[in-house]
Structures are given as C-alpha cells and as structure tokens.
Structure 1
C-alpha cells in the first residue's frame, strides 16, 4: 500500500471512528439466506414476434420477477452476474438508499460493477412513507432495456380502497443487439440505435404500427390483464422504456383516477389518458363495467415526440381467458391525442408535508443546462460537462474513500469544492459534480437548449436519492415569481416526484437557445452521492448524466471507516461473492435481520414470477 494512501486511512479511522454507529462487517456464508435472489444471464431470446437476439435477462425472463417489499423493513437482495463477458449492477429505481451508500447500483458513482461469475448482496432499507410503485434495472450500458423488473413496496396502511392491484410494465424492444447499439452511440460519427421496434406490455407486444395504418404482420399474442365486472383495480404503470414517451388509453374505459406518482400518494386526479416517460410510475384506479358489452377491450399505447409512431396493444379481459389467444387488431380502436405538455404537473399530494420548503427558504438556485454537442462525437452535456465510462475511471464514492493520488492509470478525484461550484453555476468543473451541504434548500432548474445543429428533444429526468418537489415546467426560461404565484393560486403544494419530463416546445431552435424548463425544489437532508440523469438510455450512454454530492467530507465518509469498506474499494473485492468464497459485507443497519423471512423468500413464497415472458392475468 502506498504510504500516502495508508496515511489517509489512518486519518480516516481516527477522525471518523467516533461517528460510526452502524457498519458491522459480516461474512455471508451458507448460514446467510438472502430475502430474494436475482440471477442475470444473457441469451438469444425472442421478444414477441421478432427474431431472437442477444438479450440480458433476469431469472430467465424479461421483464424479471416481481419483488414485493414492505415499508419500514430492511431486505437483502442477492444479484448474481451469470454473464460471461459483461459487468452488471442493479439499481432500485425510486428508492432512496441513503442508509446503504454502496447499494444504489450506479457503477460510475456508488460501486464497482459486479464482475462476471460474481454476486453482490444489496442491502435495501425501505423507510416508512415509501410505499408505492418502483422497479429495478441494471445501470450498465444498454442492459436496462431488458434487465429490469417491477418492485412494489406494500403499505402498512392503504389510503385508497380497491379490490386488487395489477402491474402494467412498459418496455422498448430494438432490432439491433445491445452491444451494437452501445458501440454506435459512442462512435464518431454517431450511429443511432434506430427507433423503437415495439413497445412491450408485460413482455409482449403487437409490433410497430404507424398512425396511418394498422399492422397485421405480427402474429404475436398480447398481454392480458384479467378483471371481473364491477370491481375496482389499482393499475400500477411502470415506465421502463428506454426511449419511448408513451401515451395510452383503454377502449371503452375512459375514467381513470391517478392516486400515486413515483411512490407518493396524490389526491385523486381524473383523466381518460395516461402519459408516462421512461422512469416514471403511476397508480391508477379503474372501475370495471358492471355489465360489459363484450369480454375483451384493448389498451392502446403509442410513442410520442419521435420521428415515427410506435403502437402496441394489450387486452383488458373480463372473466375467463378466451380459448384463442388475443391478437394484434387490424386497425387501431382508438384515436389518441397528441402529447400534453405539463401533463399531471398540478397533481396535489394526498397530505401536505411539513418539510416542503417555501421559496423564502431557498438558499440558492442552480440551473442545469442540457445541450447536445454534435461537432465531432455527438455527446450530451450538463453545464458544458458530460459523465461517461471514461470519466470518472473509478466510481466516485470509491475514489473519495481511496483519495488516490494522481497517476496515469488511476487519476483519482478530490472531494468536490463548494467554492468552485459557486463560481460555476453549481458544478465543480474539476470533479464534474454538484456539491451541496446538509440543510441547504436548492431550487434546481433543468434548462433545455437547442443543439449545435438546432435540434430539440424531450428528456425524462430522474434523481437518485431523496425525492424532490416538482415545481412544474414551461417554455422559454424559468420565472420563479410567476411560478410561486401559480402554485399559490392552486392552493396546494407541488407533488413529490423522482422522475419528471423536460419537454421540448419546438422540434428545432437556434444553437444554445433556451426553450423549455423543468424546476425542482429539494431540501438537502440525505448524505450521499446521487446520480441525476435523463432516463432515455441512449442519452445516458452519450453523457447525459451527472452527480450530486450531499454532505461534507466528514458526513459522507464518516458513516463507516477503514477497514470495513476495504472490500468495496477494489473491482472484484471480497465484498463480491464468488463460488470459491463468501462475501464480507457491511451491514449498515446492523446485524439484526429476519432469517425466517429470508427462508420464506428463498422458497419462492414472496417472490412472484411472471410466466410466459412476463404476462399478467
């Protein structure tokens, strides 16, 4: 060990030891039973009627198995990387993992990825008040297009009445292999992935169909959502799409009531359609017909704000499943409207929060300006910087613990400087991160701008860590005074979200011209390194992601010291289990866990697997 590194570890131990109140180092040998097991493989796999291609699967399917947790509990989920030639992580989308700093599943930020033939035990703590609809997905490259599945956190006290809940899981399917797509997105010149070939609903779809005509060439069967007459269902919509901004509706059922957005309950909001971008989730109440005119009704889903319209279907099936499986209709039963900018921006929380910060409490406003640079390699920038596999070379949290000196192979990164950030509109240009201190109240404005060649795009922006209060969106630039007045007129607080849409208000504009904003307000309470990124996978690979560092050095690194974290600091370190050895991991919540509960999960009593490639019914 280099003497400078050893000196840092010694200082870390002395400086922070008194602060550590958790962080017990434990060996997960054969006596340890995880609460759930996910095994990730890659295989030639056919989705709907398209030819088989190399696809990353979870427990042999896409989407993967449904996980159900309960708020107020801590779980251990073991993720095996059974792929032969690819790294892996698993991110728990929408859950704030402030308790377990290495468990967020971000390979450039919170952990080294899981190497092939290794596994990693994720500690998932679900605080009270986080019941809702979530999902999990890999955060490596383009794997999340298929390596993904639903995650539901059950309530201890459900505020709405319904008879049953159903999951509607939306994905994209592309004809190119993932590796070909990734290579093209970082090539010079850019080789685009192509548009969505099919929108999948619970793993099935009806193929691409443009607005002018139906498509009867695909003989694939459709997903069925089975219902009974005169009952109320909670439909949990999960936007796990890579590219598609989806708009959907049900044939013959135009009364939908939104009750949850991104894991937060809302006051009931009636709508006949639903718009859902990548990363967003909604729960909607649907009351079925007491006397249905027929047994099968279509759900129609279409893409928006893309060069072509992809259209797919699922079936709302009353009573017994039909003798013949449902097929893609020859003509679309519905004419869906165009995109509604600002859709559901005025949702009201079910209960007002005492933590909601007023504009008077805002300590500073940060404008995160997104821009596409197309001279040379096409990249997406945030405040003139991108975040890709080449930067940083070490996961940032790992680099902070190591505090490595500058070398050719591992340059290391210092702790972000708030002073540098204040001089550069919030971003520290050395680390390319946005630092903030505990207790700050940030007003974050995400500003859309015209690309070098004038183009504009939409972006579903997702924040890891604590959820933000979503202040809405608009054209041009943000006016805080007008926005405050708008919320005052509505008479309620903004909703809590973790993913919201940055719209475009034209297809093109001048290079760098500001056109379209999304504003958030966040009270900084959770120490950690948190990614903020567009949830379009193509844009992420092209650099449209950045990192927020909350807390000072002592607060962030003082939660657990050396030598407990040693296994997390090396690629393939001893925190990563293998057939030849059990992992040594830190229990950030202590060593009290329910092995009885773990045993039940291991026997499949609480992990429900979708059959037939993910269909529900």
Structure 2
C-alpha cells in the first residue's frame, strides 16, 4: 500500500519526498527494541533501560552514502524514548536526529522508523543512545560507518571495539529525582567503568564476574575503536607492556598518524588507534592489563580490562592488587593543535570568512533558600531543560509557530541568545565561531565539559586558559590545520576561579549549512539534566522544506500516524 504526498523537488538534493505506509511488506534493515528490566552489570543488579535486551546494545554497521532504515520499538510501558545517532549529521531526514527538540518521543508500546544516510567521507566510529533523561547510561551501543571504497589508507589485520560506559548502582529514576528535586542532591560518581559491558568492582575481589577480554594474536596490527559512551567519566587508559599506539581517527574523521602512549576520552568522544601486538618470539607474558582511571572527579576510580593473547586462559575474575601502571593525571588540553586531517581540507573557513562569533559562557549556579539547595548549569545566564520545550522546536517550525526571523533579531541584540525561545538562531549559510567560555561557579569551582554538536561536525580550533584571542589562535592554526570533530573538551585550566570570571575556553568554527534544529550540549548526562544544553536553530521553514521536504501531520503530533503500534502501520516520509 503506497500513499504519495504532494512531491517536492528539493533544489539542493534533487530528491522526491513521499509518504509511504510501512505495512507488513516493509522490512526494516535493523530492528532495535528498547525495554526496561533488572539487569546485571559488574555482578550488580540494576533496573536499566536496555537495547535488544543488553547493555551495551548490538553493534550496528552502516555504509556511507547508503540509506538504512532502523525501526526502534519502545517496549516499555511507562517511559517515552528516542534514539540519537551520535555524530551523524542527519542532513535531510529532519525527524531522525532523535532529540526532544527535533521529534516527538516514541510513546510506550509504539515504534518509529529512523531513516539514516551517513555522509560520504564520514566513515568511522560512532554510537547510538537514547536522548531522554538518564536512559543513555545503559541504552546505547556501537555504530560503525564503513568506508564506501578504499578511502582509508591505513592497513590493519583486524579490528576490535572498546566500548566504555559508567556503572551507577542508583537507578535512572533515582538519579533524575536527585537532580530535579527541590533540594538538589548530587547522585554520586560512577561506581565502575565498564568495557564492552563487563567489569568488576574493586571492592568485589572474588566471584564469577569477569573483566572484559580484548582478544588478539601475536604479530598483528589491530584497529581499536574506542567509544566514550560514559555518562559522566573522563577516562584515561593505557596498556601494560604496549606503550605505542597510533591515533588514526577522531570522531569519524581520519587523521594523520599521531603516536600516543595513552588516551584521554570524554563522554561522547571516539578514537581509533592502531596497536601492534608482540611477535610470537617475544610473547612470554600472554595477558596484559588495560588500565583505566577516571579523571577530574573528587575520587579517582581505577579499573581494568585484559589484552588477551591467543593460546592462553587468562585470569579475568580478579583485579590486580597493585595497578601495573602509574596513577594518571589529567593532561589539560590533550591533543590541542596536534591532530591534523589525513587529507587536506580546502573547506576550512578562514577567520576573515567568519560572519559572527557567538560566545557561550558556562556557569554553575548554586543558590539556597528555606534550607533547600538549587543547582543549575547556565549558558549565557540561562539553563535549558527538556520541560522548556513542551513541543519540539522543529515541529513548531513546520507548523509556523516558531518565528525564526523574530527570534534571530532578538538574538542578535542579545549576544546570540534569544531569551523568548532560549535558542541561538542562525541564518543558513553563516560562518560561525562558537566559543565556549568557562567561568568560575558560584562557589568558585571549575569543571571539565565534553561539548557535543548535533547537525554538523565543526572545525575544532583548540582551547586555552583565560579568554579566546581570535588573532593569536589563528596564528596557531597556520601550521596546524584543524580536524572536523563533533565532541571536544572544555578543560579547567585553573583549580578555582572567581565566580563569574572567565577561566578557559574552547572554540569551534563551522558553516551553518544544515537547516534544522540542533542541540549543542555538554555530554555529561547529569549536567544536561540540570540545564547544560543549548539549541541552535539553523535557517527558517523555507530553508528546512527546501532542504528536506514537507512533513506529514503524523510527525507533528505526539503518537501521530508516523509512529506505529500493534494496531496500525506508520505513515512514514521517505526523505531520501
């Protein structure tokens, strides 16, 4: 059964947009089922949101330039959900980004068909996760975009995924209530760092709970794909007996080879490295620890996985009494001005091309009244939380309820932020510099923030102490062309700072060519829940429709006809 909506010839992408009923004749390429159940992580039972019954969920593999349909079932009875494809730009398929500002959530016992087409040239390492509440702490999984041809000039024998997640013994509901309640309570730091869903608490020295094993053979080169799917933790890691890794990819983009003895991975970041194993003649020890430590938290947590050579049965049930590697310290500004694109990028806009600079100050506000403590994260003086947008902004644009021109004018008069919508409106085609400016909190503290952008990758201009100096930084970039990224870290360059005083920055540059509504936020889930999010609205309705096409009414209503359930098949727009 086929229903065709009035077609639109998309001037930029020359495509016909149609609405199709995805009945029993439609077979999705991938099916994901989101459930909530008691689940054992590191031998600790926790009520968790799962994908296909596990955490992490299954590894997905897509081809760049090819359309993939992924059906996500919300099999939960009491919770909405979405699925975000972390790092994919989602150009053209506007309702597939999976955020509360770009689509209505998937209601309980409904499903939604996501249309994905990774951009050519973006082959690399990604992941997917729910974008509601604290669900992403467990509802996530690896996503790999395969090269469409031989564009990768790196050779290796095999690859392994190293997927990093946090373990919190408190449930999502408890953590959300602690942060959203009238008396804000910090829910505590991670109880463990899991590798591929496995680990064991340092306090639990015996039992059947196993460390993760990364299996290798002697005399080979492996591509290790590290995925920082942690909710909170900035993770340092290195391998015992293997101090030579070569970074070849960051956030879905190949880089020139860069040697590193350790990695420092924030929430949302991904890196690929080449690791050469020892030849058989030199393998006297067949088990080596991968040591992981959390950074920038009041108490550092150290945990382990095992690099396991073939031909042995390693001990995976005990953690070493003494860590084999020294305790790690944070390298502030790690990799700044060191990563370079593998292929020269002629699209990088120079400073003279920048139309506008938007500085976003980051501030933790702490206030007390009536023996209650309220904590929120502010950007330019205001937080953004899910409840501020009862209707997704993209839906409001399609329904002509979001006046993008008026919002833009208000934003220009207010340093880039429109207070009426709490958004940062942008004209399509603008070249922007976005500067994240750390400032001392009400208590004078400074923290580390891995900032992630939806909708587009940006040129990471680096970071530093104090206040951003565009001319000085442009000189730094002359011999250090930046790499396209989607998640980079705003570091604290001082231990403390005077409340509200600038103390460290991170700068991005990008061409705003992807019309739509896109979130930019700290990827620490706890920070997001209490306000550390911003919304960039790129272009107006005409730009969105010209780029993507019209939208049926089924996308514009919660539980609308674009969302299927057991009683009806969804009416789905084919944007590609």
Alignment of 1:136-215 (within 5 A): 136-155=128-147, 156-157=149-150, 158-208=152-202
1:131 aligns with 2:123: yes
Alignment of 1:264-275 (within 5 A): 264-275=253-264
Match of 2:449 in 1: 459
1:47–1:513 distance in 2 versus 1, CA, 3 Å? same
Structure 1 segments unaligned to the other structure (5+ residues): 1-12, 210-214, 405-411, 590-617
The answer as to whether partners of 1:216 and 1:329 remain within 8 angstroms in 2 is: no
SS of corresponding position for 1:92: strand
Give the Cα separation in 2 of the matches to 1:417 and 1:78. Answer: 35
1:437–1:190 distance in 2 versus 1, CA, 3 Å? same
The answer as to whether partners of 2:213 and 2:316 remain within 8 angstroms in 1 is: no
1:256 aligns with 2:249: no
1:555 aligns with 2:532: no
Give the Cα separation in 2 of the matches to 1:507 and 1:324. Answer: 40
Aligned length: 559
The answer as to whether partners of 1:257 and 1:285 remain within 8 angstroms in 2 is: yes
Alignment of 1:453-492 (within 5 A): 453-488=443-478, 491-492=479-480
Match of 2:221 in 1: 232
Give the Cα separation in 1 of the matches to 2:20 and 2:405. Answer: 29
Shift of residue 553, structure 1, vs aligned partner: 2.9
1:531 aligns with 2:531: no
The answer as to whether partners of 1:216 and 1:330 remain within 8 angstroms in 2 is: no
Higher relative contact order (CA 8 A, sep 6+): 1
Alignment of 1:19-418 (within 5 A): 21-50=15-44, 52-107=45-100, 109-155=101-147, 156-157=149-150, 158-208=152-202, 216=205, 220-290=209-279, 291-320=282-311, 322=313, 325-346=316-337, 347-376=339-368, 377-404=374-401, 417-418=407-408
Shift of residue 508, structure 1, vs aligned partner: 2.3
Give the Cα separation in 1 of the matches to 2:207 and 2:191. Answer: 12
1:565–1:256 distance in 2 versus 1, CA, 3 Å? same
Give the Cα separation in 1 of the matches to 2:499 and 2:477. Answer: 32
1:231–1:326 distance in 2 versus 1, CA, 3 Å? farther
Question: For each residue in 1:273-308, what CA deviation from the matched residue of structure 2 results, as whole angstroms up to 9, or x when unmatched?
Answer: 000000000000000001222110000000000000
Shift of residue 421, structure 1, vs aligned partner: 1.1
1:326–1:286 distance in 2 versus 1, CA, 3 Å? farther
Give the Cα separation in 2 of the matches to 1:54 and 1:413. Answer: 42
Give the Cα separation in 1 of the matches to 2:361 and 2:316. Answer: 49
1:425 aligns with 2:421: no
1:172–1:486 distance in 2 versus 1, CA, 3 Å? same
Match of 1:607 in 2: none
The answer as to whether partners of 1:25 and 1:584 remain within 8 angstroms in 2 is: yes
1:499 aligns with 2:487: yes
SS of corresponding position for 2:112: strand
Give the Cα separation in 2 of the matches to 1:427 and 1:557. Answer: 24
SS of corresponding position for 1:400: helix
SS of corresponding position for 1:180: helix
Give the Cα separation in 2 of the matches to 1:517 and 1:103. Answer: 31
Match of 2:572 in 1: 585
Give the Cα separation in 2 of the matches to 1:45 and 1:475. Answer: 43
Give the Cα separation in 2 of the matches to 1:137 and 1:245. Answer: 18
The answer as to whether partners of 2:37 and 2:49 remain within 8 angstroms in 1 is: yes
Match of 1:7 in 2: none
